[in-house]
Amino acid sequence: MLSILELKAGYRRERLIIRDLNLQVDRRSKLWIKCPHFSVGRLLMALITGQIRPVGGEIRIMGRKPYMLSSASVPYFMRNLGLFWPDIPLLTEGTVRENLFWRLAALGEKRHRSLIESALSLFGLTSIADVEVSKLSRSERARVALARATVSVPPLIIALEPARDLPEREADRILRILSHLTALGSTVIVIASDYPPESLGFKLVEIEER
């Protein structure tokens, strides 16, 4: 699913921020990458999604290097990814249900009703499905954002700091849902600056501070 070989990227005071990182992530597995700082996690996510090129080494997702794709290929490639990061923008004037619908419509997904209802149930959003996002709490918005990113059940889900600044109970809820998504067929990668709860069974990889 994801292969990273001898990855080198980013400079801080003439030193590489990420140096010689090697990862092999299999399908339907769950990996937790602990980074020393949020900025390192953000850099890694940008590398994995092809927004920037590495200084050295390579990244492959389903056999393809995301940073080598043509502009015409990018939209089709991105359909395989479900991406979440703190404060990801939502359509605040739309309802929870509409946010999920518009995501599926953008992907060309035809199974709107069943996928939306499944996501609403999984993320505990059924009771507020027809409420405008602008009226929701921060914790509820986080669940909506994650539901929107994963509503199509993409092959690969990458979540950057999914529990950041959330109350402990809500953070635990978010992480348990992410862990469960592997049972639906997705590969889940969490990038965060803290350690995963041991009970969730994430494989842990640490990026050391340089």
Q: Rounded to whole angstroms, how far apart are CA atoms 34 and 36?
A: 7
Mean pLDDT of the chain: 89
pLDDT digit string, tens, across residues 66-96: 889 888 988 888 888 999 988 788 888 899 9
Taking the domains of the chain in order of start, what are their residue ranges?
2-206
pTM for this model (two decimals): 0.89
pLDDT band at 191 (very low <50, low <70, confident <90, very high): very high
> Could you tell me the fold of the domain covering 2-206?
Rossmann fold (3.40.50)
The answer to whether 131 touches 143, Cβ cutoff 8 Å, is: no
* Nearest-angstrom CA–CA distance, 35 and 191: 7
What does the pLDDT look like over 21-45, one tens digit per residue?
A: 898 999 999 999 999 889 889 989 9
Beta bridge partners of 158: 83, 189
The answer to whether residues 94 and 62 touch, using CB atoms and an 8 Å cutoff, is: no
Q: What are phi and psi of 32, to 5 degrees?
A: -115, 120
